[in-house]
Chain A
Amino acid sequence: MMSHTLTASALSAGYGERLVLDRLDFAVPPSRITVIVGANACGKSTLLRTMSRLLPASRGHVLLDGKSIHAMPSRELARTLGLLPQSPIAPEGITVADLVSRGRHPHHGVFSRWTRADDEAVAAALAATRTDTLSERPVDELSGGQRQRVWIAMALAQQTDVLLLDEPTTFLDINHQIEVLDLLTDLNQTRGTTIVMVLHDLNLAARYADHLVAMANGRLHVAGPPDAVLTEETVREVFGLDSRIITDPTSGRPVMLPIGRHRMLSDDAIESEAAP
């Protein structure tokens, strides 16, 4: 497993005239889990899409191991950098094993033949995501959590050292969210895969990230270890929300509790609750 560096410098990108990313600088720590959080439309997905070349940069660079990804041959890039987009499409009736084997695409040219190594990569991806028992089932018959594991298996079969995921836990029940995040953590710990993902849930983000990034208005607002980033101040600045931060007794990571306008105890009660 090689450690790859992935950095963005002075990166601007967007759709048509509208710039979503504004001269953003970002360095992905190698072999770590980086989680990006931020309010809707702050540019999280756009950042992932630009870093994986789905979207052109209008200014600035994305560098993989010091080389601009926009100058790399696309198959070569796809052998190092994988991306699971927000809403991939499973062709009607396709089986799990068939879909996962599509991840081998960048390892083949027009004339190259399927080899034992390809079958091994597919089998390893099925085993790692515990979808091996589903391998002959059609993808459209699976539950949401199973289907997401299958898509991750496809990305694993691609055997990239860097994996970007755009909201891999959306639409999943909480148990399946934890399952997917545990699986990605296994992957990071056993193989050293560099993982960058966008998550909506701040608490899960703080729980699973080695490096937490909060974005606002197309820029990195603050980045660092979760307990330094997830503060009442950050939540107010990035989400415009008052909150309290406590420590999760299980993981020791920060947990954000939002303060709304209703269902509040009197000030005294809050004080006495907060006191240990």
Chain B
Amino acid sequence: MLAALTDSVAESRRRRAGRRGLVVGLLLALLAATFLLTLLLGQSFTPPQDILRTLLGEDVPGVAFTVGQLRLPRALLAILAGLSFGLGGVAFQIMLRNPLASPDIIGISWGASAAAVIAIVVFGLKGPAVSVLAVVAGLGVALLVYALSFRNGVAGTRLILVGIGVSAMLESVIAYILSTAPAWTLQEALRWLTGSVNGAQLGAMLPLLAALAVFGGLLLGHGRDLEALRLGDDTAAALGVRVGRTRVLVIAAAVGMIASATAICGPIAFVAFLSGPIAARIVGNNGSLPVPAALVGAALVLVGDYCGQFLLPSRYPVGVVTGALGAPYLIFLIVRVNRSGGSL
């Protein structure tokens, strides 16, 4: 009797794991297919064998530049940034048990973006120094929002409202700095307001890759504890999770990833916010979300950038495309949360 029940428990657990594995596999396949498409087909079509030869180090006339200098770095940056935004965003949403608690809504991306703009425009800095400043500013904003919303503990709603206010202030700081830099093109200005992967360079991605490896590893290593936090802080603590320590680690890792990506591509609008809920929709209740959400984030940025470049009547940075997707969802979510309380 109990053996039969044990078998059925095991069976349903394996079925859930299988479904989640299938979703992750499909997302990986989608990402790989889109990646190949962006390498093959831009303004012109490049035959696959030319791409292969270029990647192996041969100098194929014309292809070395369009693929090696333009398409490949751009696609890789889109994937790295998307993974960072998706993973960082879903970590916040799970930890605070609210889809509105994503780092781009509560001001952390804007803090990193403002720091990057000031570092580049005012102080003329470049490369890793900009990334480090952006991470520090992102952590600073996270602390500020946390401190401002602290009253007998932090309530999710208060934190979100304070975060929205801080975001608005930081956006105006960015707008002000950009207005004092008349030499900047519209494209560059848009990078810091909506995010863009224009002008990607392989070398500039190393800090982002390092941040993703370190912070992403840290986050996934604490994936089980993060998952337990979904049952409420008290229940998680009763299950042996050190809630305070887990929370600090998750915040530091998520901010580190989000800010590193923002320092290079700007706050690509709503990717952090959208990835988790989309992943939740397709994974259903078949397992943990961080990995699927990271893959969804990468797909969003890659596909969004491709649409912005080639499928729309004129060229838009990726943030404009993801922004157009995210804004209606934000409205939908606020209406729904108002009705029911809602969770991820």
Cβ of B285 within 8 Å of any chain A Cβ, yes or no, is yes
Specify which chain B residues have a CB less than 8 angstroms from the CB of A86 in the assembled complex: 234
User: What would be 25 A-B contacts, judged by CB atoms less than 8 Å apart?
Assistant: A53-B237, A54-B238, A78-B238, A78-B239, A78-B240, A79-B240, A83-B238, A85-B235, A88-B232, A88-B234, A91-B230, A92-B285, A92-B343, A94-B285, A105-B239, A105-B241, A106-B239, A119-B9, A120-B2, A122-B6, A122-B9, A123-B5, A123-B6, A123-B9, A158-B239
Cβ of A21 within 8 Å of any chain B Cβ, yes or no, is no
Specify which chain B residues have a CB less than 8 angstroms from the CB of A93 in the assembled complex: 284-285
Cβ of A132 within 8 Å of any chain B Cβ, yes or no, is yes
Contact with A along B140-184 (1 / 0, CB 8 A): 000000000000100000000000000000000000000000000
CB-nearest residue of chain A to B94: A91
**B232 and A97 contact, CB distance less than 8 A:** no
Of the residues B13, B221, B241, contact of A101 by C-beta under 8 Å: B13
Contact with B along A74-91 (1 / 0, CB 8 A): 111111001111111111
Specify which chain A residues have a CB less than 8 angstroms from the CB of B241 in the assembled complex: 74, 105
- Rounded to whole angstroms, the CA-CA distance of A135 and B152 in the bound complex is 38
**A91 and B13 contact, CB distance less than 8 A:** no
- Rounded to whole angstroms, the CA-CA distance of A164 and B295 in the bound complex is 41
**B224 and A108 contact, CB distance less than 8 A:** yes
- Rounded to whole angstroms, the CA-CA distance of A83 and B240 in the bound complex is 10
Cβ of A67 within 8 Å of any chain B Cβ, yes or no, is no
**A119 and B224 contact, CB distance less than 8 A:** no
What is the minimal beta-carbon distance from B257 to any residue of chain A, in angstroms? 20
What is the minimal beta-carbon distance from B308 to any residue of chain A, in angstroms? 33
Main secondary structure of the interface of B (DSSP, over half): helix
Binding site for A on B (CB under 8 A): 1-2, 5-10, 12-13, 16, 97, 152, 221, 224, 228, 230-232, 234-235, 237-242, 284-285, 343-344
**A85 and B2 contact, CB distance less than 8 A:** no
What is the minimal beta-carbon distance from A80 to any residue of chain B, in angstroms? 10
Specify which chain A residues have a CB less than 8 angstroms from the CB of B152 in the assembled complex: 15-16
CB-nearest residue of chain B to A151: B235
**A75 and B240 contact, CB distance less than 8 A:** yes
Of the residues B9, B235, B239, B240, contact of A89 by C-beta under 8 Å: B235
Q: Beyond the given A93-B284, A95-B285, A106-B240, please list 20 additional residue pairs across the A-B interface where CB-CB is below 8 A.
A: A16-B152, A52-B238, A54-B238, A74-B242, A76-B240, A88-B232, A89-B97, A89-B343, A90-B231, A91-B231, A91-B285, A91-B344, A92-B285, A105-B239, A105-B241, A119-B10, A122-B6, A126-B5, A135-B8, A158-B239
Specify which chain A residues have a CB less than 8 angstroms from the CB of B1 in the assembled complex: 127
Q: Which 8 A-B pairs have the closest CB atoms?
A: A78-B240, A85-B234, A106-B240, A83-B238, A75-B240, A123-B5, A105-B239, A123-B6
CB-nearest residue of chain A to B286: A98
Specify which chain B residues have a CB less than 8 angstroms from the CB of A103 in the assembled complex: 239
Specify which chain A residues have a CB less than 8 angstroms from the CB of B7 in the assembled complex: 119
Contact with B along A128-152 (1 / 0, CB 8 A): 0000100110100000000000000
Specify which chain A residues have a CB less than 8 angstroms from the CB of B6 in the assembled complex: 116, 119-120, 122-123
CB-nearest residue of chain A to B236: A105
- Rounded to whole angstroms, the CA-CA distance of A132 and B9 in the bound complex is 9
Contact with B along A180-220 (1 / 0, CB 8 A): 00000000000000000000000000000000000000000
Specify which chain A residues have a CB less than 8 angstroms from the CB of B234 in the assembled complex: 49, 54, 83, 85-86, 88
Specify which chain B residues have a CB less than 8 angstroms from the CB of A244 in the assembled complex: none
- Rounded to whole angstroms, the CA-CA distance of A249 and B231 in the bound complex is 42
Considering only residues 224-242 of chain A, those with a C-beta below 8 Å from chain B are none
Specify which chain B residues have a CB less than 8 angstroms from the CB of A74 in the assembled complex: 237, 240-242
Specify which chain B residues have a CB less than 8 angstroms from the CB of A85 in the assembled complex: 232, 234-235, 238
- Rounded to whole angstroms, the CA-CA distance of A53 and B235 in the bound complex is 12
Specify which chain B residues have a CB less than 8 angstroms from the CB of A124 in the assembled complex: 2
Of the residues A105, A120, A122, contact of B240 by C-beta under 8 Å: A105
Cβ of A110 within 8 Å of any chain B Cβ, yes or no, is yes
- Rounded to whole angstroms, the CA-CA distance of A13 and B238 in the bound complex is 18
**B224 and A105 contact, CB distance less than 8 A:** yes
**In the complex with contacts A102-B239, A106-B239, A97-B343 CB distance below 8 A:** no
What is the minimal beta-carbon distance from B243 to any residue of chain A, in angstroms? 9
- Rounded to whole angstroms, the CA-CA distance of A174 and B246 in the bound complex is 39
**In the complex with contacts A78-B238, A126-B5, A92-B344 CB distance below 8 A:** yes
Contact with B along A153-168 (1 / 0, CB 8 A): 0000010000000000
- Rounded to whole angstroms, the CA-CA distance of A84 and B30 in the bound complex is 42
What is the minimal beta-carbon distance from B239 to any residue of chain A, in angstroms? 4
CB-nearest residue of chain A to B230: A91
**B235 and A138 contact, CB distance less than 8 A:** no
- Rounded to whole angstroms, the CA-CA distance of A53 and B239 in the bound complex is 11
Specify which chain B residues have a CB less than 8 angstroms from the CB of A114 in the assembled complex: 13
Contact with B along A249-262 (1 / 0, CB 8 A): 00000000000000
**A105 and B228 contact, CB distance less than 8 A:** yes
- Rounded to whole angstroms, the CA-CA distance of A83 and B112 in the bound complex is 40
CB-nearest residue of chain A to B153: A15
Specify which chain A residues have a CB less than 8 angstroms from the CB of B343 in the assembled complex: 89, 91-92
- Rounded to whole angstroms, the CA-CA distance of A108 and B239 in the bound complex is 11
**A84 and B5 contact, CB distance less than 8 A:** no
Specify which chain A residues have a CB less than 8 angstroms from the CB of B228 in the assembled complex: 102, 105
**A127 and B285 contact, CB distance less than 8 A:** no
Contact with B along A44-70 (1 / 0, CB 8 A): 000001001110000000000000000
